[in-house]
Amino acid sequence: MSYAERLTTIAQTDLPGLVDEIRKIAVFTDLPQEHLEWFVSNCKEARFATGEIVYKEGTKAEYMSIFLEGRIFARREAEGANSPVFIVEKGDVTGFLPFSRMTQLTITGRAEEPVHLLLFPATLFQEMFQRMPVLGKRLVGLLTDRVREVTRNEQQLDKLAALGKLSAGLAHEL
């Protein structure tokens, strides 16, 4: 089943329960009910079983993802099995965030347990900023945190690589 085939429209009867679910996530907690209802009503819903691919590297980035349930382990497949693992789990907001320059997904993520997502389309970001300016600011903060974390991880990998070269040089000299 393709990713697009998994996306379902939110039924009006499911709206109150899903609003209650996202209210448990920090960036949404104190937002007005009508804002959350608008947000959720514009989302798509998707579910994935354990082991299924949730994100595929190279796929067009179109949605912000809100994890209502589950956990994925993701990595850059192009970098091989030793690339760093990125973990996303219940309560996380990720994917294509506002002001991100990402055009394609850069990771492949597999469900480590059943996953339930709400997917908010990037095409509605401008309207979201107008309706929910507080959420926009919080999402920019999430993007900033994500950039900081990726930079920190890349620096750690560079340091480990340098240490490995130094160790190999010392071993060769001994």
* Distance (Å, whole) CA 38 – CA 24: 17
154 Cβ contact list (under 8 Å, min separation 6): none
Checking if the pLDDT of 122 tops 80, the result is yes
Q: What is the DSSP letter of 160?
A: H
pLDDT tens string 19-59: 999 999 999 999 999 999 999 999 999 999 999 999 999 98
Nearest to 45 by CA among 20, 73, 69: 69
Q: Say what the pTM is.
A: 0.79
- Mean of the per-residue pLDDT values of the chain: 85
pLDDT tens string 68-99: 999 999 988 877 777 767 889 999 998 888 87
Average pLDDT over residues 87-115: 89
Nearest to 79 by CA among 144, 149, 142, 153: 153
* Distance (Å, whole) CA 106 – CA 65: 15
Tokens 């994925």, residue located: 72
Average pLDDT over residues 109-113: 94
